[in-house]
Structure 1
Amino acid sequence: MKRIVWHESERVMRFVAERVGAETFKDYAAIGLEQAGELIAGVLFDNKSGANIHMHVASNETRHWMTPAYMAACFRYAFVQAACNRITGLVRADNVDAQRFDEHLGFKREGQLRAACTDGTDLIIYGMLKSECRYIEGKYHAALLADIRRAGPSR
């Protein structure tokens, strides 16, 4: 069974940092997903500025980690708890799988930062507005509430 990891921010941050090629993050919030005690996914938020926050997503490279409850937890953090109106994601131009993933989630391609990576690769800017997010209400929110009830008061 998969379990949302709410209160182990540093553990999740290290998981995400290792997979996205970052040394570390500062002033962040992180939500993980584990199965059999091992992290299989992590979402990290940083660079909150007014109504905007940056989102970084990493997984164990399988396609079977997303759950409706986890998606609701992550997007509700940004749009409800952090009270942001938009999420920004930056994706390497040579990472076509990540571009497809962001677009599948509902992010819109907004622009490109030329030669923004240390190796000269461009970064593609993706954005999602709260009004465009399908994960904060409906079946996703219901799945999150069910997951919280199932886990009990220890969270």
Structure 2
Amino acid sequence: MMLEIENQKALLTIAARMLGVERFGADAQAIGVRHPDEDRIRAVIVLNQFHNGTCHMSVVSDRTKDWAFPSMFERVARYVFEFLDQNRMVAVIATSHIASQIAAIKGGFQIEARLRNGAMDGGDAILFSMTRETCPWISSGGSDGERTQT
């Protein structure tokens, strides 16, 4: 799989349509996930709501699972923590989206809280976060880039 950041307008439009929202805020940045042999986006990761070293992450996909590979998690984490110089990523995931919660945990996110009526459909949601210090994809002891936790 390939990550791409070119053509932000198109990626954000795809993500908004898949998520069922009109649009994202002006600070939104999108990362597209594409199979090298296909001419379609498999998933879009949207980073937005940047404030005080924290950004919000939303992920939408075509419901296939082969795009969520370990090096993708590492590359997104490095982009957020090293290139964008953020200290925390947060994601709000509906309690009904079990597969998304599992993916977040496998990606290095930790459960922070339950948000009553916090999901887009009005149901409850779980707040997940990953900090630069707890990120399993960035070595805290050097620049070897190996995963530091399992």
TM-score range, shorter chain: 0.7 to 0.9
| CA shift digits 1:84-138 (9 cap, x unpaired) | 1110000011111111111111111111221124543012100111112133452
User: 2:32 aligns to what?
Assistant: 32
CA distance in structure 2 between the partners assigned to 1:101 and 1:42 by the alignment: 14
Aligned residues of 1:68 and 1:139 also touching (Cα < 8 A): no
Structure scoring higher RCO (CA < 8 A, sep ≥ 6) equals: 1
Q: Which runs of 5+ in 1 are unaligned?
A: 141-155
Shift of 1:139: 4.6
Please report the TM-score for the alignment, with normalisation by the length of structure 2: 0.82
Which residues in structure 2 correspond to 1:1-155 (within 5 Å)? 2-26=1-25, 27-35=27-35, 36-117=38-119, 119-136=121-138, 138-139=145-146
Q: 3-state SS of the aligned residue for 2:137?
A: coil
Q: Distance in 1 between matches of 2:138 and 2:62?
A: 24
Structure 1 match to 2:142: none
Secondary structure class of the residue paired with 2:82: helix
Evaluate the alpha carbon distance shift between residue 106 and residue 69 of structure 1 in structure 2; reply closer, same or farther with a 3 A threshold: closer
Percent identity of paired positions between Structure 1 and Structure 2: 25
Task: Identify the range of structure 1 (81-90 vs 8-17) with the bigger mean alpha-carbon deviation.
Answer: 8-17
Deviation of 1:68 after TM superposition, in Å, equals 4.4
**Corresponding residue pairs, total:** 139
Letter in 2 for 1:15: I
Distance 1:63 1:117, change over 3 A: closer
> If each structure's helix is expressed as a fraction of its own residues, which one has the higher value?
1
User: Cα RMSD over matched residues?
Assistant: 1.9
| Residue ranges of structure 2 left out of the alignment (5+ in a row) | 140-144
